[in-house]
Amino acid sequence: MTFFATVIMPYLAFVSFLAGMSYRVWRWASSPVPFRIPTTCGQQESLPFIRADKLENPPDRLHAFLRMLLEVLLFRSLFRGAQAEKRGETLVFGSAKWLWFFALMFHWSMLFILLRHLRFVLQPVPGWLLGLEAADGFLQIGLPVLYITDIFFLTGLTFLFLRRVALPRLRYISLPSDYLAVLLLIAVGLSGLATRFIWRADITGVKEWALSLVTLRPEPLAAASPAFLTHLILVMCLIAYFPWSKLAHAGGVFLSPTRNLANNSRARRHVNPWNYPAPVHSYAEYENDFREKMRKAGLPLESAEKTEGGAESAAGGLK
């Protein structure tokens, strides 16, 4: 059992994660982007006397990249957060940044927690990591250290969960898997705290075991406490489930064509790999249809007589 939980499962979970994420990203990436369709959220670059908003409406790849950074690091779009309310016969728009605030809080804390966990697989623990831990634990409330990111992580998630059950609209659109994901994350967080505050895990033992896994000389963790095992199993479930669930948005966001492209298809031609010629109604056919009327109206004509429009029709305007 211990061998299964502390050796087989971690490897299985990682395989599932890596294989899954690669598959998902490959799958997305294997469909082409036929058109350059950024959603423009600011002034385009056009005339020199009109100030372009290059981050919201990137004129080139560099700015598209920066826009993506803003999106991924600061959740730019969520920050637009506004709420519409109907008051009697009018609509009122107000700013509502709560979702942005708590989502950002949760995601950033998760990143920090992940980084902190690197201490189990890095020997010796690098200085930046020690610094990060120190900063994170500055609210040193006795021993063991209570990290603020732990609090933020759980606060953020609790908000996301409560929001989902409390707001009728959210409840209405939610799927079972939406609850599953957030509950799983909360469980991971709580069990993690338990390994430090309630049933303390043997850190040195865990580190030895973790190092044995990453150096591919796996040793089971003999003295795993139930709390630690619970935490471990939950984390493994999360990692294994990640790519196959909505959590995969973490990879997908980078590929989003409305965010990662420059709005410059009038300046630089975008090529659609599957573009194909399609039939058009050519000018010659049009003139055939209306020759007499055009003549009477005094419009110039290409030909005084009916022409064979068919041949030209495929060529008209198409490559």
Partner 1 sequence: MAKLPKKAELTQYSLGTAPAPWRETKAELRPGMYCYGAKGKNLETVGMPNARDWSPAEEDWKLPEDWREIILAGMAERLEKYRSFRLFMDICVRCGACADKCHFYLGTGDPKNMPVLRAELLRSVYRRYFTKAGRLGKLAGARDLTLDVLKEWWYYFFQCTECRRCSVFCPYGIDQAEITIIGRELLNLVGLNTDWIAGPVANCYMKGNHVGLEPQTILSNIEFMLDDLETITGKRIEPTFNRKGAEILFITPSGDLFAEPGIYTCMGYFMLFEQLGLDYTISTYASEGGNFGFFTSNEMAKRLNAKMYAEAKRLGVKWILGGECGHMWRLVNQYMDTWNGPADFLETPVSPVTGTRFENARSAKMVHIAEFTADLMYHDKLKLDPARNDHLIVTFHDSCNTARGMGLLDEPRYVLKKVCNNFHEMAEDTIREKTLCCGSGSGLNAGENMELRLRAGFPRANAVREVKEKHGVNVLANICALDRASFPPIMDYWVPGTKVMGLHELVGNALVLDGEIERTLDLRTEELPRRDETAGEGGEAQ
- Indicate which single residue of 172, 204, 217, 304 sits in contact with partner 1 (rule: CB under 8 A): 172
Q: Does 24 bind partner 1 (CB under 8 A)?
A: yes
- Report d(CA 26, CA 226) in Å as an integer: 38
- Indicate which single residue of 57, 191, 195, 230 sits in contact with partner 1 (rule: CB under 8 A): 57
Q: Does 138 bind partner 1 (CB under 8 A)?
A: no
Q: Does 99 bind partner 1 (CB under 8 A)?
A: yes
Name the segment binding partner 1 (CB under 8 A); options: 15-23, 111-119, 164-172, 215-223: 164-172
Binding characters for partner 1, 184-223, by CB under 8 A (x = yes): ----------------------------------------
Q: Does 311 bind partner 1 (CB under 8 A)?
A: no
- Indicate which single residue of 252, 303, 308, 310 sits in contact with partner 1 (rule: CB under 8 A): 252
Are 195 and 231 in contact by the 8 Å Cβ rule? The answer is: yes
Q: How far is the CB of 189 from partner 1 (least distance, A)?
A: 18
Q: How far is the CB of 46 from partner 1 (least distance, A)?
A: 5
Q: Does 85 bind partner 1 (CB under 8 A)?
A: yes
- Closer residue to partner 1 in complex, CB, 11/35: 35
Joined tokens for residue 82: 């506004």
Q: Does 53 bind partner 1 (CB under 8 A)?
A: yes
Of the candidates 132, 178, 171, the residue with the CA atom closest to the CA atom of residue 157: 178
- Closer residue to partner 1 in complex, CB, 60/208: 60
Q: How far is the CB of 248 from partner 1 (least distance, A)?
A: 7
Of the candidates 81, 79, 67, 10, the residue with the CA atom closest to the CA atom of residue 39: 67
- Find the helix packing angle between 148-166 and 98-117, rounded to 10°: 140
Q: Does 55 bind partner 1 (CB under 8 A)?
A: no
Q: How far is the CB of 318 from partner 1 (least distance, A)?
A: 6
Binding characters for partner 1, 227-246, by CB under 8 A (x = yes): -----------------x-x
Q: What length is written for the chain?
A: 319
For partner 1, the binding residues in 264-293 under the rule CB under 8 A are 264-272, 274-275, 278-283, 286-287, 289-290, 293
Are 100 and 106 in contact by the 8 Å Cβ rule? The answer is: no
Q: Does 124 bind partner 1 (CB under 8 A)?
A: no
Distances (CA, A) of 114 to 35, 40, 100, 109, 235: 37, 34, 21, 8, 11
Are 139 and 148 in contact by the 8 Å Cβ rule? The answer is: yes
**Which residue reads 């990453």 in tokens?**
214
Q: Does 61 bind partner 1 (CB under 8 A)?
A: no
Kindly state the helix (H) or strand (E) to which residue 85 belongs, with its residue range: strand 82-87
- Report d(CA 65, CA 62) in Å as an integer: 5
- Report d(CA 15, CA 12) in Å as an integer: 5
Joined tokens for residue 51: 């100030």
Q: Does 310 bind partner 1 (CB under 8 A)?
A: no
What 96-102 contacts at long range (C-beta under 8 Å, 24+ apart), as own/partner pairs, is 98/159, 98/163, 99/163, 100/75, 102/155, 102/156, 102/159, 102/160
Q: Does 166 bind partner 1 (CB under 8 A)?
A: no
Give the N- to C-terminal CA distance of the chain in Å, as an integer.
Answer: 66
- Closer residue to partner 1 in complex, CB, 220/251: 251
- Closer residue to partner 1 in complex, CB, 32/126: 32
- Closer residue to partner 1 in complex, CB, 195/282: 282
Q: Does 307 bind partner 1 (CB under 8 A)?
A: no
